[in-house]
Structure 1
Amino acid sequence: MPEFSPTRQHKLFDSIAAAEQSLPLGKPQKLWVTGRAEAICLVRTRKGIFAVSDVCPHLGESLSKGTTNYLNEVVCPWHSYRFSLLNGQECTNRTSNLKTFPVKVQPDGIYLQL
Structure 2
Amino acid sequence: MIEYLSKVMKKYTLGTSKESVMKMIPERSVKKIILGDKNITLVRVAAEFYAFQGYCPHRGAPLYQGSLNNTNEIICPLHQYRFDIRSGEVKAGACPDLETFPTQLKDQGLEISIP
- The answer to whether the superposition gives a TM-score over 0.5 is yes
Match of 2:5 in 1: none
In structure 1, the partner of 2:32 is 30
Residues 29-108 of structure 1 aligned to structure 2 (within 5 Å)? 29-34=31-36, 36=37, 38-46=38-46, 48-92=48-92, 94-108=94-108
**8 Å Cα contact 2:18-2:107 kept in structure 1:** no
Q: Is the 8 A contact 2:28 2:68 kept in 1?
A: yes
* Larger strand percent: 2
In the alignment, what sits opposite 2:22? Answer: 20
User: What do the CA deviations read for 1:80-100 (whole angstroms, capped 9, x no partner)?
Assistant: 111111110010362100000
Q: Is the 8 A contact 1:41 1:54 kept in 2?
A: yes
Instruction: Please tell me whether the aligned partners of residues 51 and 102 of structure 1 are also in contact (alpha carbons under 8 angstroms).
Output: yes
In 2: Cα distance, 1:97 partner to 1:47 partner: 24
Range that drifts further, 76-85 or 18-27: 18-27
Q: Which amino acid aligns with 1:18?
A: S
SS state at 1:39 partner: strand
TM-score normalised to structure 2 length = 0.84
Aligned length: 107
- TM-score, L = length of structure 1: 0.84
| Same amino acid, percent of matched pairs | 28
The residue type paired with residue 77 of structure 1 is: P
Q: Distance in 1 between matches of 2:71 and 2:15?
A: 25
Structure 1: give runs of 5+ residues left out of the alignment: none
Q: CA deviation at 1:47?
A: 5.8
Q: Which has the larger radius of gyration?
A: 2
Q: Deviations over 1:10-60 (max 9, x none)?
A: 0012223212211122221111113x1x30001111261110001101111
Question: For 2:69 and 2:27, how far apart are their aligned partners in 1?
Answer: 11
Q: How large is the RMSD of aligned CA atoms in angstroms? A: 1.7
